Chain A
Amino acid sequence: ETGVTQSPTHLIKTRGQQVTLRCSSQSGHNTVSWYQQALGQGPQFIFQYYREEENGRGNFPPRFSGLQFPNYSSELNVNALELDDSALYLCASSLAGPAGNTIYFGEGSWLTVV
């Protein structure tokens, strides 16, 4: 077990709706990243949060937003859902520092947009 927990594990939404996914990082980890993994593909970086601020963003539109809380937990919000948003959303936590700090993933939240 990685100590990274995500909720919900599965959910179905309708196109145009909004969704919030949640993540609790491994104890002591102050950095949380979110990834989108489409079926049959590798995870794609969405953004990272460090000390409650966005600390890097991938090629995703502004309707993908996030939050990090003082306890380092995080939320991913997606507005105006599109069918292509159907994917596994992964949260990863790590300890900020020089490259080489191990990055651990949760089991993910499966989102289906219909």
Chain B
Amino acid sequence: GESVGLHLPTLSVQEGDNSIINCAYSNSASDYFIWYKQESGKGPQFIIDIRSNMDKRQGQRVTVLLNKTVKHLSLQIAATQPGDSAVYFCAENKSSARQLTFGSGTQLTVLP
């Protein structure tokens, strides 16, 4: 079936470096994508979203890139901080359905 998945289950980066978390999706009908951050014991926290008519969107220290040709989504975090350590999920949404489909997540660990 169609699904959203992540390339790497874990990612470790040095504090201050940039982080890149990747996500592949297979449903070409998806038109909205969201990145969530989930800290241990908490619910998913909205980070940034992007619609399928865009290739790039920037937020505070974060950038999401969407490549529809290869069905790839990435989250870039600039100057990674210890507070960025968490599991990051990408999720897709189709305008014809209200549900989000999540990948399995990437654990980001920021090293001192």
A residues near B (Cβ < 8 Å) are 2, 4, 31, 33, 35, 40-45, 48, 50, 55-56, 58, 88, 90, 92, 94, 96, 98-100, 102-108
Which residue of A42, A48, A56, A88 contacts B103 across the interface (Cβ within 8 Å)? A42
7 A-B residue pairs with Cβ-Cβ distance under 8 Å, sorted by A, are A35-B100, A55-B98, A90-B44, A99-B51, A99-B95, A104-B46, A107-B43
Residues from chain B with Cβ under 8 Å of A56 in the complex: 97-99
Contact call B36/A105, Cβ cutoff below 8 A? yes
Residues from chain B with Cβ under 8 Å of A58 in the complex: 99
Please, which residue of chain B has its CB at the minimum distance from the CB of A45? B99
Contact call B42/A107, Cβ cutoff below 8 A? yes
A67 to chain B minimum Cβ distance, whole angstroms, is 17
Which residue of B31, B98, B102 contacts A33 across the interface (Cβ within 8 Å)? B98
B residues near A (Cβ < 8 Å) are 31-32, 34, 36, 42-46, 49, 51, 89, 91, 93-95, 97-105
Contact call A103/B95, Cβ cutoff below 8 A? no
> Once the chains are docked, how many angstroms separate the CA of A44 from the CA of B45?
16
- Output the residue of B43, B99, B101, B104 with the most chain A CB within 10 A: B43
Q: A41-B105, A103-B93, A105-B43 are in contact. List 5 more A-B contacts (CB 8 A).
A: A35-B100, A43-B89, A43-B102, A58-B99, A107-B42
With contact pairs A106-B43, A108-B43 given, residues A99 and B94 touching in the complex (Cβ less than 8 Å):
yes
